[in-house]
Amino acid sequence: MASQTPNMDNIAEALKQVAADGNKLMTNNDDPAAREQLVKSARNLLRATKTPVESLLWHLWAPQVRVVAARIAVDMKIFETAVGNGGNPKSAEDLAAPTGASPMLVKRIARACVSMGWLDEQGPGIYAPNEMTKLLAIKEYASGIIFGFDARSLLLTKMPAFLRETGFQNPEDPDAGPFKYATAGVPLQQWLIQEPLVLDAFFDYIHTLRQHRPSWVDMYPVQSRLVEGLKPDGDSSVFVDVGGNTGQILKDFVRDVPQYKGRLVLQDTPTMTAAAKAKGVDADGRIEIQAHDFMTPQPIKGARAYFMRSVLHDWPDKQCRTILGHLKDAMEPGYSRILISDCVVSDQNAAWQHVSLDIFMMGHLAARERTESEWHALMESCGLKIVGIYSKGDGNESVIEATIA
């Protein structure tokens, strides 16, 4: 029978670490790394304190049920109703009113939200908002719950069966991956187009989330690596955002790096470039928009930089070699560089954010997040070499800089 008694030595060691990390944060409370370390040590203390059976039951019962409850709460407008009227305490009947829901159902969903810390309960059946409630009352943050549940629950329930049927082989074929198995052959991109609510939620969620992550220009030495030595004319002055969606990266670049005087080109599929034009991304002439399939030869030769954010993690190695090969063919040795904003997973004790995203990418696109050694191997297989990896904080994206080997 499994032990029902936690190891007291482990608890004592974890407590010491929490105290030490807590003191560091108290003496330097504006240090994000100190805060991240305290969160990590607090999680270790929680793991040490629970018995194995308690941990098992938590993972079997709590996460899945809470995600479902949160998704229902968004549909029932519980969070936005809770913050209304100045955030005054409200009954289940008050929270039920906007949608005409059953107060009993509201109470059952609300108490699940209370257990998550996403809503406060001031008395039996009396609810008040907290900071999490206020966050989730904002459409863009609630969108993360919509996308996270609607797209991922469909996939995750079928992924074990897919792996059993394929003999537990690592998914490497985007045309025959777990998501298409779960949808009877419909790829993720097509499924999202068929589900406009989820597609809109995806864009809201991704854009909002990135506002809370370090910007790539805060990690990468833009001045010394891009601005200095920039050739002033033609394609050699271009910063290309390859697969740049609707242009948010370049809009931020214009704002954050005004000293970059070269051309800025957004490349993506015709659907995305049309959306970028509709948003007015090229209205002032600073950003050029170009429809381009990155699986075909790169039309801009000898650019200063070819930038990709969250592109290569969408593809297995075979397709990545095609994308990188076309960029290498277009590069000017000693001048051009490839900049990749993506996760770099630790080879040991990987961050939970990277681990979670890796499983999601495996399921959705038969793709993956890569470790540093895997990034080096991928680049070397294309005749490229990594000359720098720039990171900031735990579990965030890094900037990988590559040149012709």
Q: Indicate which residues carry an active-site annotation.
A: 313
Output the six-digit token pair for 227.
């601005």
Q: Among candidates 296, 320, 297, which has minimal Cα distance to 381?
A: 320
> How many other C-beta atoms can be found within 10 angstroms of the C-beta atom of residue 164?
9
Which residue type, as a one-letter code, is found at position 272?
A: M
Q: What distance in Å separates the CA atoms of residue 357 and residue 361, rounded to the nearest whole number?
A: 6
β-bridge mates for residue 290, sequence order? 267
Q: What distance in Å separates the CA atoms of residue 151 and residue 191, rounded to the nearest whole number?
A: 9
Helices 196-210 and 139-150 cross at an angle (nearest 10°) of: 120
Q: Are 379 and 386 in contact (CB under 8 A)?
A: yes
Q: Among candidates 384, 369, 280, which has minimal Cα distance to 324?
A: 384
Give exposure, 380-396, as e/b (b: 16+ Cβ within 10 Å).
Answer: eebebebeebbebbbbb
- For tokens 């900049």, the residue is 339
Q: Are 112 and 163 in contact (CB under 8 A)?
A: no
DSSP for 86-102 reads: GG--EEHHHHHGGGT--
Q: What distance in Å separates the CA atoms of residue 2 and residue 255, rounded to the nearest whole number?
A: 57
Under 8 Å CB-to-CB from 158, ≥6 apart: which residues? Answer: 178, 181, 182
